Amino acid sequence: MNMFKQLRNLWMPCATIFALTCFGNAFAQVSYQVTDLGVPKNDNYSMIMSVNDEGWSEIMAGNFLPGQGDSLSGVPLNGRALINVDGYYVDLGTLGGPNSWMNFGEINDFAQVVGDSETAVPDPNGEDICGFGTHLTCLPFLWQPFHMSALPTLGGNNGEASAINNLGQIVGMAENGAVDPSCQAGTINNRVQLPVLWENGNVHALPTVDHDPDGFAFWINDRGQAVGYSGNCSGPIHGILWENRTASALADLGTGGFAENINDEGQIVGTVGSADGTTQTGAIWQIVKGTGTTKLTTVLGLLPGDAAGLAFGNNNQGQVVGGEWNANFFWSHAFIWQNGVMTDLNTLFPASSNLFATFAAKINNRGQIGGMAIVCSGPHQGEMHAFLATPVKQSAGESIAQAAPNCLQSNFPAADAVNRLLKKSGPGGRFVR
């Protein structure tokens, strides 16, 4: 399944919007020079999932039905994993199947890339982990210039690699082949999925908490600290920190959460459900030095009009980026949080960029941000394009938020179409990447 598709299944849709931090213009923001990385030929969608400190980016690109590229419920028709190095695209290929992807995934500073790819072998259990509707086996990969190789699972048919640090340690998820007893009847992806660490070519299962059968490690920093979640097939999940292959749960507000990223300073970002269970929002935790414990330090608020959101990336300077979505489960605003202030990235993008950012995936230590944006006008209007935003010490002038305040509306289908899409996907799907 699409990585974003399952976010709506974690908590009930937003009935009320809560905010635990104040927004304003107290913090003097820089503006950004925005590079539209476009889409490959014959595609209508691309998104940066990771940007390293060289400014090289890992991109997932492909096609969605019109209006679905920016939906949490959108299902890709096809997809390829790419990298962009100084303006040049490299297609990473596949492991024998038609598609490769990286619903989470990373390029490190040595141009090593991880993600997941279909093979040519049908999944014997009918699973569809890569999420393209082909029901082919889906394997984690490591790409090193210029070769893609499969990473081992725990004995099951499928897995996904999420991140690789500069030491070559890789984290993600792998199946062990067992049927997950916590899955509801009719669940397609019904095998146990365990968080894993790949090191020196070997795969190691990471522990979960509270006897959870499933988990996923999403990110690992250069200190070997990893974060993600554990849970069951259809119930609540817990944010997790792994240190020395030992798991500890992250505090939440009583309704679950998960961790997406950790920097080298021990700052963790992700999302938590609100105390009343009506929505979810970005969150920040901090490892308390010398104690081996973590503390939930900040629960981010929401930009006006948004229903929910999550923090997805952070750098060693403590800058945090992510995205928010509206009540119809469409990504609506990319944000940056720094020095206690949340800012809509579109107020910092010049109108000339013609891109309205809906999701910011990662920010590197140079402050460069990668994500996805809607093209507001012209021959590519409505397409979702990968962007790379580089900070500059100058005014943006008129921002895209000012010049094209209705850019989002043209890409949102009617509410009844969204409701049909949500009913089709069903409420019981697994949270998978």
The pLDDT of residue 280: 95
Residue 40 has pLDDT above 60, yes or no: yes
What is the mean pLDDT of the segment spanning 174-193? Answer: 96
**Judging by beta carbons within 10 Å of its beta carbon (0-12, 13-18, 19+), is residue 279 exposed, middle or buried?**
buried
- 140 has a pLDDT exceeding 70: yes
Which residue shows structure tokens 């990298």? Answer: 83
16 contacts: CB under 8 Å, gap ≥ 6: 276, 278, 279
pLDDT of residue 84: 96
Q: How far apart are CA 172 and CA 197, in angstroms?
A: 7
Q: Return d(Cα 159, Cα 137) in angstroms, integer.
A: 9
Whether residue 266 is predicted with pLDDT greater than 60 in this model: the reply is yes
Minimum mean pLDDT range among 29-38, 134-143, 248-257, 305-314: 29-38
Top-confidence residue, 189 or 236 = 189
Res 112: pLDDT = 98
Tell me what the mean pLDDT of segment 129-158 comes to: 97
Indicate if the pLDDT at residue 422 is higher than 50: no
Residue 284's alpha-carbon distances to 195, 262, 268, 295, 370, in angstroms, are: 21, 10, 6, 9, 20
Write the pLDDT tens digit of every residue in 285-301: 999 988 879 999 999 99
Q: What's the average model confidence in pLDDT over 112-127?
A: 98
Pairwise CA distance, residues 142 & 131, whole Å: 19
What's the rounded mean pLDDT across residues 306-329?
A: 97
Question: Residue 288: what pLDDT?
Answer: 95
Confidence of residue 104 (pLDDT cuts 50, 70, 90): confident
Amino acid at 322: G
Per-residue pLDDT, 411? 54
Average pLDDT over residues 237-243: 95
**What's the whole-number average pLDDT of the chain?**
88
Indicate the pLDDT class of residue 415, thresholds 50, 70 and 90: very low
Whole-number Å distance between alpha carbons of 409 and 367? 29
Q: What is the pLDDT of residues 79-99, one digit of tens each?
A: 999 999 998 999 999 999 999
Q: Which residue has the higher pLDDT, 73 or 283?
A: 283
